[in-house]
Chain A
Amino acid sequence: DAGVTQSPTHLIKTRGQQVTLRCSPKSGHDTVSWYQQALGQGPQFIFQYYEEEERQRGNFPDRFSGHQFPNYSSELNVNALLLGDSALYLCASSLGTWGQPQHFGDGTRLSIL
């Protein structure tokens, strides 16, 4: 049973560019959440998708957007990249009910030059 898979594993971009990160949830999960983990910090919640809709959003600017597809996979898009966007981006999947644990992928390491 495959867990949460993310692609690519590493990415290097320059300031001002745009990037798309991808996530396939664990089999049977219908909810996808995205987190940003800066070096030496705990993960910060970006947003959560359920039934192809953004259900909740953290304190991130509109440059961060996402999408969920009918098969529950998800994309995270970041426009106008800034140096401060350099981080590990983690995708987590879960069943869409409270208290269900989120299962994380290994993340995409994004470096901005």
Chain B
Amino acid sequence: AQSVTQLGSHVSVSEGALVLLRCNYSSSVPPYLFWYVQYPNQGLQLLLKYTSAATLVKGINGFEAEFKKSETSFHLTKPSAHMSDAAEYFCAVSEAGGTSYGKLTFGQGTILTVHP
């Protein structure tokens, strides 16, 4: 069984400050990990993915995430927040192989607020 925990349902930062959104996962087999962003009244847009290659993954809009197997974590960071980053962010896991067929299990989401 797989699960995702996102620590902090709301994160608030100032424009230009570091963004850190936390994600811990549980999976019985090697995982694939994803971060998605959702703007109001829209679907989910893929930010980045980890699929067992480099542990530091770079995504769109300046975001990156680091896979740490020992900590079962996949935290999302961005060095300098922009107003346009305000949105809800979801971490998701799927299992590599088996009968999951790429089914995604999502965390509860973290709403990012950026103050001027």
* Interface residues in chain A, defined as those with a beta carbon under 8 Å from any beta carbon in chain B: 4, 31, 33, 35, 40-45, 48, 50, 55-56, 58, 90, 92, 94, 96-107
- Do B46 and A56 have beta carbons less than 8 Å apart? no
List the B side residues contacting A31 at CB < 8 Å.
Answer: 101-102
How far, in angstroms, from A38 to B114 measured CA to CA in the complex?
25
List the A side residues contacting B32 at CB < 8 Å.
Answer: 98-99
- Do B102 and A102 have beta carbons less than 8 Å apart? yes
* Interface residues in chain B, defined as those with a beta carbon under 8 Å from any beta carbon in chain A: 4, 32, 34, 36, 41-46, 49, 51-52, 90, 92, 94-97, 99-109
CB distance from A49 to the nearest CB of B (A): 10
List the B side residues contacting A100 at CB < 8 Å.
Answer: 102
- Do A101 and B34 have beta carbons less than 8 Å apart? yes
Taking a contact as CB atoms closer than 8 A, the residue among B4, B46, B51, B99 that contacts A99 in the complex is B51
- Do B94 and A42 have beta carbons less than 8 Å apart? no
Task: List 9 interface pairs A-B (beta carbons < 8 Å), by A numbering.
Answer: A33-B102, A43-B106, A45-B105, A90-B43, A98-B32, A99-B49, A99-B52, A102-B102, A107-B42
